[in-house]
Each structure stands twice: as C-alpha cells, then as structure tokens.
Structure 1
Amino acid sequence: MWALVAGCADGEAVSAAHVCGAAVVAVEADGAALSVAARPDRRQRAHATDAVAALLEEQQFTLGEGPSIEAGSSGGQVLVADVSAPAGASRWPMFAPAATAAGARGMFAFPLQVGAIRLGVLTLYRVRPGSLTREQVADAVTLCRTAVAVMLAAGRPPLNGAAPDQGAWPLGGPGEGRIEVYQATGMVAVQLGVGLQDAFAALRARAFTEDVPLARLARQVVDRRLRFHPDDFPDN
C-alpha cells in the first residue's frame, strides 16, 4: 500500500491527495475524501478526489449525519453497499437521499485513529451499489494506517525520498473551508444566547432549510450580512 501511495506521489511529499488516489485504485472506488479532526467535535476536509466526494463530505457536515460522521464518532468502519436502500434511508433520513441524488450508492468510511485517539476519516464512494471484498477492506485499513503514519511524521523525511517541508501539515495543508463555520458558530451563540452546540445546530438547520452550503451561510454571518435572532427560535 505504501508503494501505491508513493507511486501516486511520484516523487512529491506524500499528501492527503495521494492517499485518496491510492484508496480509489486499491478499493476500486469512484472517489474518495479524507477529513481530519481538528478537535473531537470538529472535522475539516483535507482532500476530495472529485466534486461528488466533496459534495458528500459537505452534505454530511451540513446535515450532521452519514457514514463519515458515524465512523468519526464511533471509531468503527461504516460499510454500506447501497445508501438508497431502505436501511440506508432509515439510518440517515436526510443524507441518504442527498447522497443518492449526488450519484453515490455504495459508501465506505474508515476511521483514522491511534488507540482511542481519532484523527479523521477516509471515505470512499461508488456510483454502483455493492459491497467491498475482504481484501479491499483490508487494503483500506492499511491505507488508513499509512495516512496516520504520514500525519505523525511531520518534520521527518518522507519515505519516498522527497525533501520534507518543515512548515507544512503532512497531509497537504490545514484543510478546506471550516474555519468560518466555527467563527460563525461563536457569533450565533452570542446572538442567541446559547451554547456552541446549540448554535451550531441552529446554523446547520438554517443551511438545510434554505438549501445553501453551510460554508456560504457562515460567510454571511461572519461578514455580518446575516444575524440570528432569538425570536426566530420560539422554543429556545
């Protein structure tokens, strides 16, 4: 698996993009995304191989449910042969229809962790339904361990011989697009007079109700073009 990752890197320092690319090949998936846990309650996307993989990650972040969310919180593998099946729809009533509409059927999420410490999630999707073979599951788990090794090797020379970047995060940068969401969560908490968890729930609910990306709504809050009012939440 490391040889496959190094081959995707082609002489560059290994990044999240190379791990995702190797996972797509090894598991015969159509796309992959890797997210990292900045805190136990916060995940951000490090890389997505394509627009569908990115959308699936964003939908799960917005809706608060899905295989990536479940794998990250439970620390176990979440392997779903067909998210559009009744079992998937009952398990994730909001995410399953969104994933199906995006063109994903099979979805497979694997936690990145060291002992009890959860560092992130590797999620793969297929456009056709179907289960992974035991060998494919084993390969995905090995790639997760490879990703963890890369994450823990910050500042060390990478195994493929490329020069290390002492100032770079080892999986390709600080992630994409979540800082403003957390800034907005803090602002909404003050505006509503609630805790961060309730504020995040209110932000997520509004994004879902108005059918806009959570990051876009957060930008409106941060730019002070949108304000949450307690009167909008009579049960608060």
Structure 2
Amino acid sequence: MSETREAEVVDTFLALTDTLVHDFDALDMLTMLAERCIALLDVSAAGVILVDGQGRLSVAAASSERSRLLEVFAVAIDGGPCVDCVRTGEQQLCDDLTAADARHRWPHYAHGAVEAGFRATHALPMRLRDDVIGVLTLLHTRPHALSDIDARLGQALADAATIGLIHERAVRRAETVQEQLQGALNSRIVIEQAKGVLVAESHLRSRTAVDPEEAFALLRRHARSRGQRLTDLARSLVERTVDPSVVLDG
C-alpha cells in the first residue's frame, strides 16, 4: 500500500470514528463512506443499503445521485447480492455479472446492473454482533475481482460505519439501533424532497437549471460551509423556512 493510500485510509477511519464524539448526521457519514470507497478500493460506484425495523431494505446513501445508479440499488433490495448478504451475514463477491452463474443466481439484478453499465458487484455486510443492519455495496464498470486486501479494507470500513451509526446507546438497547437506522432512512426521504425543491426552484426562477445530483452537491456544500446538519438544512427547505435561492446562489 502506498503512503498516499495509507494516509487516505487513516483519514477515512478518523472521519468515520469522529462520529463517536460529535453530534453527527448519519446520512452525510454514509455518503462520505460511499465516496471514499471509490478512491480507496478502486471501484466505480458505491452505496449503503440499510435494514429497517421491519426487515425491509432501503437505499440510504450512494457515491453519486445519478438516477441510473440509484435504480441499480433499488433493484438490489428486491433480490440480489445485498439480499443474500443480509440473509447470510457473509460477503457476496461477484467478479462478472454477465457470467452464467451470476445470471442464474440473480437474474433480475444482473440484468439491471449490466444495463446500467456495471459488470461486477461486491456486497459487504454491516454487522452488529450477529445481526446484519446494512450492506456496503461496491460496483465496477468492468469485470473486477476484489483483492483479499481490498475485501478486508472494505469490510473494516463497513464495520467502522456500523459503529458510527450506533455509537450512542446501541450497546445498551437494541431499540436504539433501529431508531438510528430508521432516522437515516427518514433523512434520505427529506433529502430527496429537498433536492426536488431546488430543482423546481431553479426552473421557476429562470436560472440555470440544476439536476438532482447537482442539487445534492449544493445541499452538502451549503450545510458544511455553515456547520449545519445536512438533514436540518433539507428539512428547512422542505418546510420553506429557508429560501431555496440561498442554497442555489451558494
């Protein structure tokens, strides 16, 4: 491992574990994890899927807000490596989604992922003791075998993120785990609504139109520049207590 990569790994773990001592935004942390995976693990895209209190899988964060990428994750929660990862608690590594065994095992997912431009997928469990509370999913645009080192590093990142999600009281009460997870999923809904507000406002005011991915980037930049929680800013936009033009104008 190069010195540069070692430094990036250290920085990432520090960022993940920093949530142990600060009031943190779970969605922002998970998005950061997905983004860092691209550089650290040489993947094309990454995302986090969480299990809610009823055992349902939902997309919580992604390295990009591109609709085609989000569609792949949406397909994944209906049947694919992520579902198997949650069920078994083990890594699900697929080097080539066009291979016969992958098409047989996950026909719907393999077809959807390949159609979206991805050829390999790796699902890493986010575990709390024996319970899988989510999945870190890695995608590649070409056939790609995840090395043993990268598989271990990816799992370590997933484990660190899990600790971040449940840092306050999960050890004492299992209910808190579900509250944290549901909170992250609820935050995702608010973020999507806020993105829609910004996209619509950019059209209404005849300014240069922004797409959902650009809207998300504007949200994060505005929140971080003011030391504000991403979900709090999004909720303010949805409730119209913050003028969308303030965010659009930077």
Same fold at TM > 0.5: yes
SS in 2 for 1:173: helix
**% identity of equivalent residues:** 20
Equivalence for 2:127 = 113
- Which residue of 161, 167, 173 corresponds with 2:184? 173
Q: Which of 77, 93, 104 does residue 79 from structure 1 map onto? A: 93
SS in 1 for 2:139: strand
- State the match for 1:22 in structure 2: 36
Residue 79 of structure 2 aligns to a residue whose secondary structure is: coil
User: Does the Cα contact within 8 Å between 2:118 and 2:142 map onto a contact in 1?
Assistant: yes
Task: Please name the residue that 2:152 is paired with.
Answer: 138
Q: Shift in Å at residue 169 of structure 1?
A: 4.8
Q: Distance in 1 between matches of 2:131 and 2:87?
A: 11
| SS of alignment partner, residue 57 of structure 1 | helix
Structure 1 residue 60, shift from structure 2 partner: 2.2
> Cα deviations across residues 54-82 of structure 1 (Å, max 9, x unaligned)?
22111123xx2111111111111000001
Note the 1:1-236 alignment, pairs <5 A: 1=9, 3-6=11-14, 13=24, 15-39=29-53, 41-50=55-64, 51=66, 52-61=68-77, 64-154=78-168, 169=180, 173-175=184-186, 176=188
Cα 1:8–1:36 shift into 2, 3 Å: closer
Deviation at 1:92, TM superposition (A): 1.0
CA distance in 1, matches of 2:145, 2:88: 21
Q: CA deviation at 1:2?
A: 5.1
Aligned counterparts of 1:81 and 1:90: Cα–Cα separation in 2: 14
Q: SS of the residue aligned with 1:94?
A: helix
Where in structure 2 are there 5+ consecutive unaligned residues?
1-8, 170-178, 190-250
Measure the CA separation in 2 of the matches of 1:171 and 1:139. 27
Q: Given residue 17 of structure 1, which amino acid in structure 2 is its aligned partner?
A: T
CA–CA distance in structure 2, aligned partners of residues 136 and 79 of structure 1:
12
User: How far 1:171 moved relative to its partner?
Assistant: 10
CA contact (8 A) 1:53 1:125 kept: no
Query: Is the helix fraction higher in 1 or 2?
Result: 2
Change (3 A) 1:141 1:122: same
Structure 1 residue 146 displacement after superposition? 0.7
| Cα drift, residue 111 of structure 1 | 0.8
1:112–1:119 contact (8 Å) kept in structure 2: yes
Paired letter, 1:174: L
Give the distance between the partners of 1:77 and 1:16, measured in 2 at CA: 19
CA distance 1:38–1:70, change in 2 (3 Å): same
Aligned-partner Cα distance in 2 for 1:17–1:128: 23
Aligned pair count? Answer: 164
Write the letter of the residue equivalent to 1:3. D
- Tell me how far apart the structure 2 counterparts of residues 171 and 148 of structure 1 sit (CA, whole Å): 14
Q: How big is each residue's C-alpha offset from its partner over 1:67-107, in whole Å with a ceiling of 9 and x where there is no partner?
A: 11111111110000011111111111222111100111110
**Distance in 2 between residues matched to 1:40 and 1:115, nearest whole Å:** 19
Residue 172 of structure 1, CA deviation? 8.0
Instruction: Tell me the secondary structure at the aligned position of residue 90 of structure 2.
Output: coil
Task: Report Cα offsets for 1:189-222 as digits up to 9, x if no partner.
Answer: xxxxxxxxxxxxxxxxxxxxxxxxxxxxxxxxxx
CA distance in 1, matches of 2:96, 2:184: 32
Listed one character per residue, the Cα deviations across residues 133-179 of structure 1 (whole Å, up to 9, x for unaligned) are: 11100110110111111011148xxxxxxxxxxxx9589833435xx
